[in-house]
Amino acid sequence: MPAQFTGAGWRKSSHSNGNGGNNCVEVTVAASAVGVRDSKNPDGAVLRFSPAAWKSFLSDAKHGNFDVIS
């Protein structure tokens, strides 16, 4: 895990629960980066994003830009 995320407070979505909601990602915010990891493997890899990239991702997700239409 990158040193900047050691001891970080990781958060899971409020939509995650004990009824199969364990397949989630966790997010933490550090001074200069946002970290994302697999909740099932907290000691595994951490994806690191700049705050601007994370903000852009969240905006796109909120606006449905990643929705799959079948």
Query: pLDDT tens-digit profile of 51-67?
Result: 999 999 999 999 999 99
Q: What does the pLDDT look like over 14-45, one tens digit per residue?
A: 776 655 556 788 999 888 899 998 888 888 88
The pTM score is 0.75
Contact criterion met (CB below 8 Å) for 29 and 38: no
Contacts of 37 (CB under 8 A, 6+ apart): 1, 10, 25, 26, 44, 45, 46, 47
Bridge-based pairing state of the strands 34-38 and 46-49: antiparallel
